[in-house]
Structure 1
Amino acid sequence: MVHVSATPVLALRGVSKRFGAVQALTDVDLEVHAGEVVALVGDNGAGKSTLVKTIAGVHPIDEGVIEWEGEAVSINKPHDAQGFGIATVYQDLALCDNLDVVANLYLGSEIKRAGVIDEVAMEARSRELLSTLSIRIPSVRIPIASLSGGQRQVVAIARALIGDPKLVILDEPTAALGVEQTAQVLDLVERLRQRGLAVILISHNMVDVKAVADKVAVLRLGRNNGVFDVKSTSQEEIISAITGATDNAVTRRQARRTEDAK
Structure 2
Amino acid sequence: MALRVLVGVKRVIDYAVKIRVRPDNLGVVTEGVKHSMNPFDEIAIEEAMRLKEKKIAKEIIAVSCGPKQSQETIRTALAMGADRGIHVEIAQKDYENLAPLHVAKIFAKLAKDEDINLILLGKQAIDGDNNQTGQMTAALLDWAQGTFASEVTIEGDSMKVLREIDGGLETVHIKLPAVVTADLRLNEPRYATLPSIMKAKKKKIDKKTPADLGIDVTPTIEIVRVEDPPVREAGQKVETVDDMVNKLKEAGVV
Above 0.5 in TM-score? no
* Larger helix share, 1 or 2: 1
Q: TM-score, normalised by structure 2?
A: 0.30
Structure exhibiting the larger radius of gyration computed from Cα positions: 2
